[in-house]
Structure formats: structure tokens, C-alpha cells
Chains A and B, each alone.
Chain A
Amino acid sequence: MATEDRTIDGFGQVSRTVGTVFRYLLLAATLIGIVALVILLLFVANDAIQPLTADPGWHLTFFATLVVPTLAVGGYLASRNQSAAAVGVGTIGLAVVTTMFAGGLSLIFVDIVDSITWAAAVLTLAVPTAAVVAIARVSNRSPLELLAVAVILYYVSLFGVPGPLRSVVGTGQLLPGVGSAVASIPVLPVDWMLLFATFTLPVAVVVRYYARQLVDDRTATAIVAVGLVAVAIAATAAPTAGITPVPATVLASVVLLPTMTYVTTTALSRPHDRVGLALPGAVFGGSLLGAVAVRTLGYAGPQAWVDWQFLTSAHSRNAIDAGLYPAIGGSILLMLTVAVLSFPLGVGAAIYLEEYAPDNKLTRLIDVNISNLAGVPSVVYGLLGLGVFVRYFGQPSGTVLVGGATLALLILPIVIISSREAIRSVPNELRQASYGMGATRWQTVKNVILPRSFSGVLTGTILALGRAIGETAPLIMIGAPDVLFSLPADLSSKVSAMPLQVFAWSSLYATPEFYQRAVPAGVVVLVSVLLSMNSVAIVLRNKFE
């Protein structure tokens, strides 16, 4: 070997042409999809909001009061203090998303469940639950005894004594259930106070739990207590502003309480990021200032189709009077039904398949089939719902229950698959550690696997719900009406949904006005709801990873 030949005068070049071409092709593929989607959304939003119909002065005013300060503050934060900017964006996001949820919840509390029904339902469940937990803490009963006690307590709480067993026992009703007891109290507190006790307080408990992770116990309690006072003030002061106390309570509990807590806890625990709060200040202050300014200066805003009237009225023959209210309510009710049905079933199946099922041919067959079911067209699920729930079980067609059950079947495979993914991502070392300590399977699932995978499970479920909220075909199949003029009163009344209403506007009522204005407006509302749900999912995923 001629070692003396080893002298080198440079390393030469390695060709990267193919790699470069490939890289830009990938970039182009990514961009085409995203850009197409953005253009489509802008197009639709332009039709729905019609920004060009506003006075130029309107645009100028908001440009000066809102856009310039926001860009200035945002730019400053983004270049100087990234984490402060994140706090600012987080505050805005929290306020916007919670406002949307508050809107949906207000709709339910105003038009579907009144405060007494709600309070009675909460107490019916809370009283026996508290009793069972107390018994379990105090005395050392076996799980079976506890289960028996729980069954009896829930029965009494739901139906009273002797309840439906009256005919068997042969006596009259001796004790009412908790629900009817609440409803029969002669003097009830005013409705917002009931709501405060049974809705705001549970929200406060959750909020305090999160505050607790940033500040110490005492501060967290103090912050939440101040928030509760604020809710009470909002509820009592609301009528002077022309808002009834019930939606005011809901709005304050869902928006004010969490946002205030988020702002104060971050300000206390991350002093360096406090400047970030200037961003929401600029955005909300600027909007307010702009609104006052355009009103005093007399500039007209855009003739947007997505406005209060659109959100709060029902369908009408005149496109200009048409609204989405019953469809929004229907979608919310469907969503709740779907969540209640698909979450326990899906997560349960996922836990079974991941942690309990033996690895054999049968489970592998089930595996493959769940993946297949996730890809079955939604029309087929509609047909299934029609065949099973309407034809076979004789349910009336097109109700909230039937629609919710059908959509729940539709997203069940997705919930199962994403929950399994989350459960599988729990490191095996943790399972080993738990089993090695002598934990049973159930203890391992309860103490290690579920806490660790819960946010992933929740994220997957929310994303799946997002799929359900946009579905039209299954609802048509089960006979949901295209147009409803009022909200469904309960689970067995007919329901319409946002995508269905939009579809009806674009087909049955397709006058140019409907087609060009109402449909885009409906799409904007639908997509906003979807995006806010997805943003919750994304926040959950980032927070707990």
C-alpha cells in the first residue's frame, strides 16, 4: 500500500442535486395544501363578513387603535421575550375560546335546562357520590360492600323510597328522590344562585386545581375566592346592562374566573413574563377604544352576515333574517350526547385492548377491524343508525339521542385508536415498576396508566368530536330535519345541526342570497367552533407532554 499517496488537497464535492430537488418538492407539497385551505377560508370569510362594506374611516380607526398597537406590542414581545409573548397569546386565546364555550353553555342554560333542573340533577349525583366517598374513607369496607351501598344510595337519590318498587312493596312514596325534593322546596333561591352553587363552584374547584400548580395553596384559594366574588357581582349587576343573570353567571364563571386566575397566577409565579399581559391589553383595550371611536365619529362597520342576529335567530325564508340558533343548539346537544356515549366506551375498549387483552389471533382480528371501521364512509354509519336505532329499537327518527348515538358509533373507532395510542405511549418501565411493587392490574391502570395517558386520551377524543360535529350524511340518513325553528327541548326531540342547516341553505333554499351569504356565514361559525375545540386539544397535548 502506497501510504505516501495519501496526501490530499481538498475533500472534493458530494452531489446534493437530487436531495435539494426532493426537499423543495416536499416543501411545495406542504405549501399547496395549506395555501389552498387558507385561500378557501379567506374567500368564505370575506363573503360572510364583507369587510369592504365598512366605511374607510372604520378601517382607519381600528387600524390606529387596534392593529398598530397590537403589532407594536406583539413585535416587541416576540423579539425580546418569547415566553412573555406566549403568556400574552395564551391569555387572548383563553378569553376567546372560553367566550365561545360560554356562549354554548348559556344557550343550554337559557333555553334547554333551567337552573332548577340543573341544580336538582347535580345534587342527585353529588349527594350519593359524596356519601360513598365518605363511607369509603371512614370505614374499611370491601369493594363489593361499597358497590352495594353505592347502588342503594344512587337509587334512593334518583327515585326516592320506595320509588319504582312501589308496586312491589305496596306502600306509597315515603321519601322523595333528591331531585324532586329540591324541586318541591317552596322557596327556592333565585335561579342564578342555584347556578352559582351547582355550576360555578365546580368550575372554581377545577380552576383552583390548575392554579395550585403555579402558586401555593393559600394564594390559589384567595385568587379563586376573588374570582367567585367577581362572578356574583357580575350576576347581580348584569340586569343593569340588559343581560339576564343566568347567562351572565355562565359567562362570568367560564370566561372571567379562568382568565382572571390565569392572569394573576402567571403574574405572581412568572414575574419576568408579566410584560406579556400588555398584549391582551392592547388587543382588548384597542377593540374597546376603536368601538367607542367609530360610534362617536359615526363610521359604519361592515355589513357582516355573522352577527348577533345570525347567531340568535332561527331559519327564515328571507336570507337576511335567517339564523343558525337552533342548529347551533342542536350541534351542542349532539356533541354532548356523542361525548357521553363515545368517551367511556372508547376509552374502556382502549384500556382493555392495551392492558388486558391477550395477544392472540382474535385480538389481532379486532385490531385490524377497528382500523377498518375508522375508514368506513359516514353514510354507512347513518344507515346503521337508521337500521338499528330507528327501525329495530323503534326510536323516533331524527332525535338528539338517535343522532348522538349514530355519531358516537361513527367516531368510536377513532376514539379507540387514539386512546390506545396514548396508552401505548406510557413507558413500559412505569408498568414494570408498578407491577414490581405488587400492584394489581387495576391498580396499575388507575394509578399509573390513566393519569399518565389522560391528556392524550382527551386530546384524541376532542379531535374525534371535531369530526362528528362536521358530519352531515349520517344525520340526513337518520331523518334529522333540515330546518328547525326552535331548540330541541330534550333528548327525544328532533334535532338539526350546523352542517345540516348549511347544506339545506345551499340546496333547498338556494336563492343567491342564501347561497352567497348565509352559507358562508354558517361555515364561518362551524369552522370557528371546530377550531376552538381543536385549540383546546392542542393546548392539552402540549401542556401534559
Chain B
Amino acid sequence: MSGDDGRTDGGTVDPTDDDLAIQTDVSASVQSRDQRVASTETVVRAENVNVFYNDAQALNDISLEIPENRVTAMIGPSGCGKSTFLRCINRMNDLIAAARVEGNLFLRNKNVYDDDVDPVALRRRVGMVFQTPNPFPKSIYENVAYGLEIQGVDGDYDEIVEESLRRAALWDEVKDQLHESGLDLSGGQQQRLCIARAIAPDPEVILMDEPASALDPVATSKIEDLIADLAEEYTVIIVTHNMQQAARISDKTAVFLTGGELVEFGDTDEVFKNPSSDRVEDYITGKFG
């Protein structure tokens, strides 16, 4: 098992996997955001993904391509399988005994469901932020350093911890209490701490499952600003129930409907202005769902 292989530092990837290394080299060239709009690379590509919980189908033949350094929003009514899809990407579904995934899901052209993929190694390259803030009952510092520690990254974490907290727009609020418990923070601060924790090991993709649903409007708008900033360096995939939020922050939008079907996927402007089907329009304008 390559489970304990750490990534050395920002940008480089697991040296044992040539495919991935080559891909990352190409994408590492610096481009402005505008240029990248025209020529983006696909980071996550799903091909005919089906997910079953025991015999109940939760995702039905999903195919989509998620571009690099963009915010992709997943919207849809409750129970349509958004969280399930998110969990497919970092194979968190493996932890659910009843779940069964069929089809192919590529992260940078590597099928994550191939036999030689170690899900633990995969998760080290895909950060995840959950619906309810879930910091560890450890200090703020230890929370942010957790990913580095488990990956066995050598050396001093101070710099990375500060950098991650800055990127998560939390540094100024907590810089004097780094060694106090992460649980003493407010809900919004805890969620930003979780974001800092997710970005500290420098993942390639960040998955967010309704990260702002437990927060008040002010905290929510902070998180939204943060997501826009994160997209400069990371590929962000976010599940949300809030249409305005999806419209505000995302570049691409995927609409799932009940039954686990992907009914619409495209540029956010397009999806919200000219939805291709009435069902999607009804959902977006709030007539059901």
C-alpha cells in the first residue's frame, strides 16, 4: 500500500504515478484567469457513473467534466444524490458498506476506481469540507496541521499553517490563539478552520458539501468570498441548496433531479438564463424541489 506516501510540497504530486505527474506539469504553467476560461483542462471526468445503496439507485448514469480552477456548483432537490456524487470523487462511499459504485470516474485521467488506486492516497489529493463544521477537538494549529502530520510531511508546519489560515480568511481572527481549542470558535470560524484544514496539504480538488448551510448570512458571505479566491488555485466543487449562491459563485452548474439524474450541466449563466428543460426551470425558479 502506498497509503503513507506523502506529497513533498505544493504542486508536485505522487512521484510513483507518472500519468499524474505529467498532467500536473502541463497545468502548472501560470495563466491568467481570463486565459484559462478559454483553455481549461478537465480535472474530474465522470463516465456513466451509477451508485446504488443496497438495491436503491442513488445516481443514474452520470457523465460530466469538471474544469480546472473553476467553481462548479451542484444543485438539485434534497435526496437527488449530490452528496453521493461528491463522495464518489474521493471514494468516501467506500466507507459506507451499503454503497456500490459503477462506471468510471477520472481524476486527471486516472480512473479512481481502478484496482491499483489506494483510496487513502486519493483522499490526500482531494480536500473535503462538510456540511456541519467538524474541527477536531484539538488546537487550531493541530487542526490545520493534521493533513501534513498524517502524510508525514517533514519540517516546520508554522508557515503552512499561517498561509492556510490566511487563505481561509481566518488568520487575523485566530493568530493569538493558535494553541487553543478549535472548538472554542464560532460556527462560521469553525467552518473556515475546516477549509484551512482542507487546503493545508495543498490538494488538487476541494469538495464542499453545503459548506454554508449551517451559517448566518454574514458568515456565509465570507465563505462565498473565500471560495472565489480559492478557485484561483484550486478546483472547487460545491453542493448548495441556495440558487443565488450557485449563481453568484460558480462558473459551471450541474443540476440533478430526483432519481439521481443529471439533467443539466453547463456554464452557470447559461443554466440560469436558458434552462434547457421545463423541469430545470421549475426547480431553479423555485416551483418545486
Contacts and interface: CB of A to CB of B under 8 A. Distances in A.
A434 B194 CA distance: 11
A200 B147 CA distance: 37
Chain A contact surface mostly: helix
Interface stretch (A98-106, A370-378, A440-448): A440-448
Contacts of A239: none
Interface in A411-467: 427, 429-430, 432-440, 443, 447-448, 451-452
Interface in A327-370: 358-359
A433 B124 contact: no
B166 to A, nearest CB: 20
Interface string B96-129: 0100000000000000000000001111110110
Nearest to B133: A429
Contacts of A438: 120-125, 147, 150-151, 201
Interface residues of B, number: 31
Interface string B12-26: 000000000000000
Interface in B197-233: 197-198, 201
Nearest to B121: A438
B154 A436 contact: no
Contacts of B3: 440
Contacts of A439: 120, 146, 150
B267 interface: no
Contacts, number: 68
A440 B120 contact: yes
B4 A448 contact: no
Contact of A430 (B97, B122, B134): B134
B174 interface: no
Given A440-B3, A440-B4, A447-B150, A435 B134 contact: no
Nearest to A140: B154
A437 B125 CA distance: 9
A436 B130 contact: yes
Interface string B145-178: 0110111001000000000000000000000000
B197 A437 contact: yes
B45 to A, nearest CB: 21
A437 B147 contact: yes
A447 B134 contact: no
Nearest to B134: A429
Contacts of B125: 438
A436 B92 contact: yes
A357 to B, nearest CB: 11
A430 B136 contact: yes
B28 interface: no
B132 A436 contact: no
Contacts of B97: 358-359
Contacts of B95: 432, 435
A437 B137 contact: no
A433 B137 contact: no
Contacts of B121: 438
A329 to B, nearest CB: 40
Contact of B201 (A359, A427, A434, A437): A437
A545 to B, nearest CB: 11
A437 B150 contact: yes
A435 B198 CA distance: 12
Nearest to B129: A436
Contact of A447 (B90, B130, B146): B146
A436 B136 contact: no
A443 B1 CA distance: 15
Contacts of B138: 451
Nearest to B97: A359
A358 B3 CA distance: 20
Contact of A437 (B4, B123, B132, B154): B123
Nearest to B200: A437
Contacts of A440: 3-4, 120, 150
A358 B97 CA distance: 8
Contacts of B137: 430, 451-452
A429 B125 CA distance: 20
15 contacts: A427-B134, A429-B132, A432-B92, A435-B92, A435-B95, A436-B123, A437-B123, A437-B127, A437-B197, A438-B120, A438-B147, A439-B120, A439-B150, A447-B146, A451-B138
Given A433-B194, A437-B146, A437-B197, 13 more contacts: A359-B97, A429-B130, A430-B136, A430-B137, A432-B92, A433-B134, A434-B146, A436-B123, A436-B198, A437-B198, A439-B120, A440-B150, A447-B150
Nearest 6 pairs of A and B residues by beta carbon: A438-B124, A438-B123, A429-B134, A436-B128, A433-B134, A439-B150
